[in-house]
Amino acid sequence: MVSTYFLLIWTWTRSAAAYPVSFALMTVLGFLIAAIDVAVILVIFANTTSLAGFSRDEALFLYGASGLAFTICDTFVSNLDRTSQHIKAGTLDTFLIRPVSPWIQLAADRFMATRIGRILQAALVLGYAVAALGIGWDRAWMIPVMVVTGIVIFASLWTIAGAAQFLLTDAPEVVNAFTYGSSQLTQYPLSVYARDLVRGVTYVLPLAFVNWQPGLYVLGRDDPFGTPGFTRFLGPAAALVLALLAALIWRQGVRHYRSTGS
C-alpha cells in the first residue's frame, strides 16, 4: 500500500510540475504564508522578553517542532478532509471498489507538492532555534522522536476528522477545528493557556505530546503545571493509542457509509 500511495502522489506531482513557473510560485507563496506565523511570534517578542516564562528562541523551538510535524501531515494526509465532498458527489464509491485502501486513495487525492515550501519553513525555524539554544546531543535525541510523534498524532486527528464526515457530511469546518485548530494551539507554550485546557490536551486529546511535554525535556524546563517528569517520555505511547483509536473510528466510518448508487 505504501508503494501505491507514493505512486499516486508522484502522479499528482508530475501533473503540477508540468507548469514549472506556477509550481515554483506556489511553493514560494506557501513558504511566505507560513512565515506569517513566525512574524506574529517575533512581533510579540518585540514587545516583551518572555511569553509565559519562555524566551523567544524557546517559543520558536516549540513552534518549529509542532509546525514541522503539522506541515508534513498537511502535505501528505490532509486531503482526508475532502471525504464529505466525495460522499456528496458520489465519487467515494470509486475509491471503495478499487483494490487499494480508501484511506490511501483519499490521502493522496489531489496531492499538492507545492506545500513543500511550508515544510521547509518549519524545518528552518526549528533548525535555527536548536542552534540558537545550543541544545546538546544528550537531549537533542528527543527532537526527531517528538517530530515523529507529532506526525502520528496529527495524522490520527485527520483520520478521525475524515471518518466523522461519514456522519457530518455538511460540516467539514467542524472537524477542521480539530486539525488546523490543534496546530494553532500547539504553536505557543501551553503555559499561556488555562490549567484545565492543558489537562484536557494532555490526558484526553494528547496534543501536549506533540511538542510541549518532550519540548520541556529538550529545553531542560520543569512543567509549570507540575506534571510528573516521566510524562515527557510518554509521547510515542500516546501517539500509538490515538492511532489505534483513529484506525477503529475510520473502519466504523467506512462501514457506516451507504452508497449513493451512482
Tens-digit pLDDT string for the chain (262 aa): 677 788 888 888 888 878 888 888 888 888 888 888 899 999 999 888 888 889 999 999 999 999 999 999 999 998 888 888 888 888 888 888 888 888 998 988 888 888 888 999 999 999 999 999 999 899 999 999 999 999 999 999 999 988 888 887 666 666 777 788 888 899 999 999 999 999 999 999 999 999 999 999 999 999 999 899 899 999 999 999 999 999 999 999 888 887 765 5
Q: What cell does 22 get?
A: 506556477
Q: For position 248, what pLDDT does the model report?
A: 95
Q: Are 59 and 37 in contact (CB under 8 A)?
A: no
Q: For position 234, what pLDDT does the model report?
A: 95
| Domain boundaries, given as residue ranges, for the chain | 2-7+16-256
Residue burial 201-227, b: 16+ Cβ < 10 Å; e: rest: bbeebbbbbbbbbbbbbbbeeebeeeb
Q: Are 53 and 192 in contact (CB under 8 A)?
A: no
DSSP 222: -
